[in-house]
A and B are shown apart, each in its own frame.
Chain A
């Protein structure tokens, strides 16, 4: 190795080390949060492929802003906000086309348990009808309710994602559930 090459390696080593560091950080973020992000995306899209696309796009944005990774205090909230904005943006753009929501997606989401297949399909249809009623709720209540469905998220994290207070999130969820119950009563969901 010549003297110049040695010097070049000396200059490049901090940059290379930083690239390796950010790559490792991103890989850790993928391993830790991809499932939670998928659930957040799925709560809006209700479509497995679209939810996975949203997760991939989230990490592409992370890669784009990898230089800012050191400034982030709470990775979970940061990532949830990114994926939340992505799916809402997609939904807004695709408002004209019909919902690509199918029973198979819901069936996949159900805990397998030991129920017969028919019961599982009926249950998924009931869930689909309830989720269709969720879409009729006011935007704020609907968003709070959908994020509350993701078990990994605390009320504080939902509040940070929606840029509001925890008490506001709680009252929105309460109102959403009450409205949903009234809608269910009117629609007469079969049991």
Chain B
């Protein structure tokens, strides 16, 4: 059905299409085209260079040159980064550095207690005079409880034992 329709359409319009294409394909230039072309060629030859604009310089390079150029640039960049990093680290090491020798203390404990000569000497922290060792303990309700038998200074009031609390 579709094929028949197409065939019919083709046949109806074939003449029109042929005529339009013939008109297009038999176009005749203005008389003297060859002469004008030769004149322009002669002018270009006289100038020593054709009058058409050439492609940009990077397009005139051979095809494998561009990736090669890219790799070279990347390599130079990487070398620059490495050289800069090395020079920076050397610049930081201005003073003499003692050799990394681990000195064992006289007691001859293990390597874990060895001291690096460059490490600051450790000094013991003295205990304060008013300090005391203490621990905080709380009972289950979070309130301190004072037993009646507790030693207390004379004249200090002691609250009566709470009847709600279980006896200790």
Contacts and interface: CB of A to CB of B under 8 A. Distances in A.
Interface residues of B, number: 32
Interface residues of A, number: 50
Contact of A181 (B10, B25, B36, B52): B10
A123 B20 CA distance: 9
B75 interface: no
A126 B33 contact: no
Contacts of A31: 34
Contact of A39 (B10, B25, B44, B51): B25
Contact residues of A: prevailing secondary structure: helix
B59 interface: no
Interface of B is mostly: helix
Contacts of A46: 24
Given A30-B34, A34-B37, A148-B21, A178 B10 contact: yes
A149 B25 contact: yes
A180 B24 contact: no
B40 A56 contact: yes
Contact of B29 (A48, A57, A110, A123): A48
Given A30-B37, A127-B19, 4 more contacts: A31-B34, A35-B29, A149-B24, A184-B16
Interface of B: 6, 9-10, 12-14, 16-17, 19-30, 33-34, 36-38, 40-41, 44-45, 50-52
